Structure 1
């Protein structure tokens, strides 16, 4: 985040259901973010916000731990555009819509915010970007660009609060404690490096895994999950190995270990620090002690 100042975020549930439409806003800002599960689109279309100019984020978070997906767009008629995406795009599970509380978002704002969103999402690399291209940076006058960047900062905060950290870089080791923070997964040519974080387990770029899928995962969701990581470009094939092209967040240490080893694995025992202690010993047993 660009600012670490305290914030108060208000989340309104139009239907009263926590799993339904959620409207999030920082009450001192002019934009709000509306999260709409795909099956709740008809409810959103009855809201006045659905006819506004807006920037939207179609997202899907696969259960198998492969990369979340996002498609970013902008429109002057959210109702028409989202209805079109509902008919033609299969991948997405929910949409997050950025609109103005004061109806002051213009098509010029939306074009710049769309470009800035795609550009930032690609630099961060948390989500697989399904946009064909980001286009060129729109010509925007300095005062309007300043408005857009303030809106974007608000969008960053609200998206992350609602569980979609599109624009937040993955944790990185830094300073003199780098090696002490790392865990390693090594076995028969596998050389993985990773970090245990609040969000899950991050395998770092350059980690080397086994290309072959072992019999223990043949025909299973784990085999399909590994192939998906390759097809999405998270891992690239290099002879008999696969190499992580970028840092990647997994929901659990075990999923991260399966991705590298190509077999079933208990990541709590497989990942070890530089002293040879398991992740379980360092993190879970330490808490128990």
Structure 2
């Protein structure tokens, strides 16, 4: 069951702007997240939380792709100094330090969090890791495991808010995004289960993709086809090329005959991102995707009707 309860998140921009040092905390959570650019490391390590035990993420790019390292330390500041001086880690630009208020995490806790984060990142596969072997989970009591899993669940709420998306699972098992049967939907939240189906065709090369718009996500279904390679040119047209390359690298897009095929359902952030990956070049997704039940209606047309219906409802009330 998806937890749909609201959460209160507080972001504090220490430098007064979003590209500087940031702290992030959830209401009623003992965790504390601190983000610092590498260029502000001297100031960052003077802060109290930099001396706490915790886990950390080093984020940057290597050979034009997102790259990351996940580690743990009993003193985060000491470890970051070591990484800043290491010649094999010149690529990282941002550090994310995760600790707990009053320095409540112990060595076993942070080793558990490190092992779980590395395993999660590798399973999702969005961002290659600089880490070598995957560490084993340390022996914790049943109660401590429950605490750390709850800690991780809250951390997964905070990280996307500070633009760390490497733990967002957008691929789904094939068929998992199918519309919920009516007898099940009656017991669930209607807004979260309503779905509309769209199709994208390119008859000239015999290519078809299908998608479900459900729960605010645009999910291309497993079995949908995509161009074999990225055909777009540079500049704005290449904005979705890294996403296309990532899906190829992770095995979500695999060659079958002359096209690539989605091996899993995949949730895109927008119809345009989905259409670009399918066509191999940037395209207006709202115009390209057509309602499966009526190909004369685009996603843009369908969404406009939904918005009109809301306006009319508000006017009548």
Query: Unpaired runs of 5+ in structure 2?
Result: 183-192, 310-317
CA distance in structure 2 between the partners assigned to 1:167 and 1:148 by the alignment: 16
Q: How does 1:1-289 map to 2 (within 5 A)?
A: 3-59=3-59, 70-86=68-84, 87=86, 88-89=88-89, 92-123=92-123, 125=124, 127-130=126-129, 131-164=131-164, 166-170=166-170, 172-176=177-181, 180-187=195-202, 188-196=205-213, 201-214=218-231, 217-218=232-233, 222=238, 225=242, 226-227=244-245, 229-275=247-293, 276=295, 277-284=297-304, 286-287=306-307
Do 1:156 and 1:165's aligned partners in 2 also have CA atoms closer than 8 Å? no
Query: Unpaired runs of 5+ in structure 1?
Result: none
- Which TM-score applies when normalising by structure 2? 0.72
> Over the residues paired in the alignment, what is the CA RMSD in angstroms?
3.6
* Higher RCO, 1 vs 2 (CA within 8 Å, ≥6 residues apart): 1
CA distance in structure 2 between the partners assigned to 1:260 and 1:97 by the alignment: 37
Deviation of 1:80 (Å): 3.8
CA distance in structure 2 between the partners assigned to 1:273 and 1:12 by the alignment: 43
Is the partner of 1:11 in helix, strand or coil?
Answer: strand
Question: Relative to 1, partners in 2 of residues 1:245 and 1:46: Cα closer, same or farther, differing over 3 Å?
Answer: farther
Deviation of 1:278 (Å): 1.1
Question: Relative to 1, partners in 2 of residues 1:268 and 1:2: Cα closer, same or farther, differing over 3 Å?
Answer: closer
Bigger Cα Rg: 2
CA distance in structure 2 between the partners assigned to 1:263 and 1:168 by the alignment: 24
Deviation of 1:272 (Å): 1.6
CA distance in structure 1 between the partners assigned to 2:92 and 2:44 by the alignment: 16
